[in-house]
Amino acid sequence: MSIIYPAILVVVIWFIFNRMGSSKNVRSLKDADFRNEMKNSPTPMLIDVREPHEFQGGFIPGAKNIPLSQLGHRLSEIPKDSHLLLYCRSGMRSGKAGGILMKKGYTQLAHLQGGIGAWKGKISK
């Protein structure tokens, strides 16, 4: 019994690290910095990683909807030489998406800290 509890603890910690840890190398930008990168990047691509029904409720103008759940199948739509600016509802999925893209060789990545909830700019519908 004394080995079971530490083993369970290790599994739980590993699970949490793998679920959250993939975004640790993706730059997390506050609203003003995110907008600045949208304007000043030579090859920006704005990607909303929320599900389509969330996207239809309102999105940042110019965003392409590539849900996190479809990201692995839609990599051909994302040029590797573009500066990728990712966002979701709260920042969790966009951070995860950034981690996935980094593993696939994408290097110019940033995501909106706090997601669209932190966005102070215009929203399209």
Q: Which of the residues are catalytic?
A: 88
Which residue is associated with the tokens 């040029």?
79
Q: Rounded to 5 degrees, what are φ and ψ at 123? A: -125, 130
31-69 b/e with 16+ CB inside 10 Å = b?
eeebbebbeebeebbbbbbbbeebbeeebbeebeebbbe
C-alpha 124/C-alpha 96 separation (Å) is 24
Contact of 123 with 58, CB cutoff 8 Å:
yes
* SS3 of residue 44 by DSSP: strand
